[in-house]
């Protein structure tokens, strides 16, 4: 093998190895640590869980033996206690509704940006990304002042006689939907814009020449071609929204139950790290496995279509 080819192969291995190293260090290793804790038992100690591997005294003459102890009680508890089932279902519901709201708001915005003059697209995209320049907590706290009684929204609606000044949306599921939609809206707009910006305008012109009305051209041309952006944006919103903790904690009421709050309580209030780890592993499997199956089916369909 020539030195040039060997150098090129080494360069490709380095370029592809860096992302894999990143995934191993910041995903696989933490995942294995949490998985290990989930098979332990909670104890009043530091750390508050038993080790999986321990040296024990064997029978007479055998000396020390390495014992592996796996506890499945934390996973069984997830199915035996209704709290976790309700929390999972509530989180999925709130994440799904928030994703639909982000899509309903983000699609027209992404479409408008993609159809704007090229000189204005950069400025419009900057406005979409601009909220990220402010602390996430500050932005969520700002919604408290907007949604509380005698807040900005209540005073605005009261000025036109629609509600009483004491009206408030704070500490409700609606406030959580608003907070999640506002916080994750850019994650929906960016992939949608990437798909819509690549759309060939001549396709819409051809549809119009064939007699299609604007709404028919949108449904038959624009919407199907933007489907990859819809799927990518929905995943970028839905997955983090399921495990959201800060927004439900600050904007939601006592009845707003999401799995992120359950995780917090198990880790820091109950100090039951094995159960909390089992909750996290189960949540990860619920989210990752369907996505992997979807990608596998989509890949098979693409191969069959070639």
CA dihedral 190, 191, 196, 199 (to 10 degrees): 130
Q: Which pLDDT belongs to residue 125? A: 92
Q: Is the dihedral of CA 81, 85, 88, 94 positive or negative?
A: negative
More confident residue, 243 or 68: 243
Which of 258-282 are b and which e, b meaning 16 or more Cβ less than 10 Å from the residue's Cβ?
Answer: bbbbbbeebbeeeebbbbbbbbbbb
Q: Is the pLDDT confidence value at 284 over 90? A: no
- For every residue of 154-214, DSSP letters joined together read HHHHHHTTSS-TT----SSHHHHHHHHHHHHHHHHHHHHHHHHHT--HHHHHHHHHTT--H
Q: Which pLDDT belongs to residue 274? A: 93
Distance CA 38, CA 71 (A): 8
User: Could you tell me which residues come within 8 angstroms of residue 291 by beta carbon, excluding any fewer than 6 positions away?
Assistant: 235
Residue 63 zone, left/alpha/beta (φ > 0; ψ -120 to 50; rest): left
Structure-block tokens of residue 262:
């359950």
Give burial (CB, 10 Å; 0-12/13-18/19+) of 108.
Answer: exposed
Distance CA 163, CA 193 (A): 37
Tell me the average pLDDT of the chain.
Answer: 87
pLDDT band at 278 (very low <50, low <70, confident <90, very high): very high
Measured between alpha carbons, how far apart are the two ends of the chain, in Å?
35
Q: Which pLDDT belongs to residue 193? A: 95
pLDDT band at 88 (very low <50, low <70, confident <90, very high): very high
Per DSSP, 48 falls in state S
Q: Which pLDDT belongs to residue 292? A: 80
Distance CA 227, CA 75 (A): 37
pTM for this prediction: 0.86
**Of 92-96, 98-102, 129-133, which gets the smallest average pLDDT?**
129-133
Q: Is the pLDDT confidence value at 120 over 70? A: yes
The C-alpha R_g of the chain, in whole angstroms, comes to 26
Give burial (CB, 10 Å; 0-12/13-18/19+) of 60.
Answer: exposed
Q: Is the pLDDT confidence value at 227 over 70? A: yes
Q: What is the mean predicted confidence (pLDDT) over 122-142?
A: 91
Structure-block tokens of residue 139:
């932005």
pLDDT, tens digit, 9 for 90 and up, residues 16-49: 888 888 888 888 899 999 999 999 998 887 888 8
Q: Is the pLDDT confidence value at 60 over 70? A: no
Q: 3-state DSSP call for residue 230?
A: helix
Q: Is the pLDDT confidence value at 200 over 80? A: yes
Q: At CA 93, angle to CA 149 and CA 278, rounded to 5?
A: 110
pLDDT band at 57 (very low <50, low <70, confident <90, very high): low
pLDDT, tens digit, 9 for 90 and up, residues 157-192: 888 888 887 888 899 999 999 999 999 999 999 999
Q: Which pLDDT belongs to residue 110? A: 95
Of 173, 141, 147, 169, nearest in space to 255 by CA: 173
Q: Find the length of the chain.
A: 306
């Amino acid at each position: 093998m020539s030195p040039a080819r060997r150098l090129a192969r080494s360069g490709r291995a380095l370029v592809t190895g860096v992302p894999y190293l990143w995934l191993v260090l910041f995903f696989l290793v933490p995942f294995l640590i949490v998985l290990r804790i989930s098979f332990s038992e909670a104890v009043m100690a530091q750390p508050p869980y038993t080790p999986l591997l321990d040296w024990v005294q064997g029978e007479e003459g055998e000396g020390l033996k390495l014992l592996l102890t796996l506890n499945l009680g934390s996973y069984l508890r997830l199915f035996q206690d209704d709290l976790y089932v309700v929390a999972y279902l509530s989180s999925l519901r709130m994440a799904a509704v928030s994703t639909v709201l982000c899509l309903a708001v983000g699609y027209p915005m992404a479409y408008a940006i993609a159809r704007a003059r090229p000189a204005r697209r950069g400025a419009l995209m900057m406005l979409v990304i601009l909220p990220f320049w402010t602390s996430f907590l500050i932005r969520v706290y700002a919604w408290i002042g907007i949604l509380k009684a005698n807040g900005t929204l209540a005073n605005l609606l009261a000025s036109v006689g629609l509600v009483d000044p004491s009206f408030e949306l704070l500490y409700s599921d609606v406030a959580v939907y608003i907070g999640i939609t506002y916080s994750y809206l850019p994650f929906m707009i960016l992939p949608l814009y990437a798909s819509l910006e690549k759309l060939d305008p001549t396709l819409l012109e051809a549809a119009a020449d064939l007699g299609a009305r604007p709404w028919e051209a949108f449904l038959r041309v624009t919407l199907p071609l933007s489907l990859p952006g819809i799927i990518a944006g929905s995943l970028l919103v839905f997955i983090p929204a399921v495990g959201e903790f800060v927004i439900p904690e600050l904007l939601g009421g006592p009845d707003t139950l999401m799995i992120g709050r359950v995780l917090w309580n198990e880790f820091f209030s109950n100090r039951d790290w094995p159960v909390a780890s089992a909750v996290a592993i189960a949540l990860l499997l619920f989210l990752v496995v369907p996505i992997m199956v979807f990608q596998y089916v989509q890949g098979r369909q693409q191969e069959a279509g070639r």
